[in-house]
Amino acid sequence: MHTHDAPAVRRQWLTDRVGAVEDALAARDLVDPAAIDDIIDLYRDRLGPQRGAALVARAWTDPGFRARLLRDATEVLTEFGYDGRGTTNSALPFLRLVVVENTADVHNLVVCTLCSCYPLALLGPPPRWYKSAEYRDRAVRRPREVLREFGTEIPDDVQVRVWDSTADCRYLVLPQRPPGTQGRTAEELAALVTPNSLIGTER
């Protein structure tokens, strides 16, 4: 086996093991395979960074939508089919979503200092570094230093604002639209948006 094949082989091994465990549990009526498929579909297709990117792309091209998103993102998200109170998906509740906009004068960065509160519906599962004690501590105390470690240099005359998520409130960064993207479709614009830019570690 070539060294570069190892990750693929390990992924297949994990897939097979998980499948075997699921089959064993289903045979004992301890889990419902349809419910597991629904959870997989939820995270793979119905939630995740593609939804956050779609919001950003529309905000870049629709000034009225952008204004509404900044004024009351919770209401807008509900219109997109997600019940933030968790009644349609009890595993992913939050009561309020706030969208903060990057401008020429302000750069926003999101953190959760208490644990790892995160808008799963719009970003999918949080990356490991977001949950780490180091990021949670240093993002508040030394945000510019943390941003530099992500390769993001913020000029001294640009204010850095750090937003601390809670169990009841999540934050999402609306990045600045990249120059030279006029005329691109919403799908093309959404493809430019990264999960890190929605957290604020990238511009």
User: What are the residue numbers of the active site?
Assistant: 112, 115-117
* Beta bridge partner(s), residue 107: 160
The answer to whether 118 and 52 have CB atoms below 8 angstroms apart is no
Cβ contacts of 81 within 8 Å, gap of 6 or more: none
The answer to whether 136 and 118 have CB atoms below 8 angstroms apart is no
The answer to whether 157 and 82 have CB atoms below 8 angstroms apart is no
CA 95 – CA 170 distance, rounded (Å): 8
Only one residue has tokens 């779609």, namely 54
Q: Count of residues for the chain?
A: 203
Instruction: Count CB-CB contacts under 10 A for residue 54.
Output: 17
